Amino acid sequence: MADPIVVTDAVRVPASALTARAVRASGPGGQNVNKVATRIDLRVDLEAIEGLSDAARARLRALARRRTDAEGRLVVTSQATRTQARNLEDARARVAHLIRAALVAPRARVKTGPSAGARRRRLAGKKQRAEVKRWRRRPAADD
């Protein structure tokens, strides 16, 4: 676990912020699954990530809300492959992907009104429905 995770030129996760633990994976794998600890639990200290703005850090916290432990560290697990090394790479890639997603600021929604055509279609539909209901009414008694 010597090398840091480089997300962009400015943003990186130092090696000191990463803690990896290998545990036994669940699921298929035959005899191998009972002997070898291939699943990786990678924990990342969110406060130690370098180069994140406060807004991006807040977005990252929101994205990782369900994946944080009691100390506030991000927990990423991987048991996709049968080897410890590839699971570690997969977990590191997932962390980088999550941080990249937090770097993208959401576009502000521009409030718009319905177009004239949409308004016309809506009113035409209402008129048609009113006409259907009018025809269902009891006819007026002419004396």
Nearest of 40, 54, 51 to residue 4 by alpha carbon: 51
Per-residue pLDDT of the chain (143 residues; tens, 9 = 90+): 568 888 888 888 888 888 888 888 876 666 777 777 888 899 988 888 888 888 998 998 898 889 888 888 889 989 888 888 899 999 999 999 999 999 899 999 999 999 999 999 999 999 999 999 999 998 887 76
Q: Please state the pTM of the whole predicted model.
A: 0.71
In this structure, the number of other CB atoms found within 10 A of the CB of residue 134 comes to 8
pLDDT of residue 121: 98
CA distances from 56 to 15, 103, 125 (A): 20, 5, 46
All domains in the chain, ordered by first residue: 5-103 (3.30.160.20)
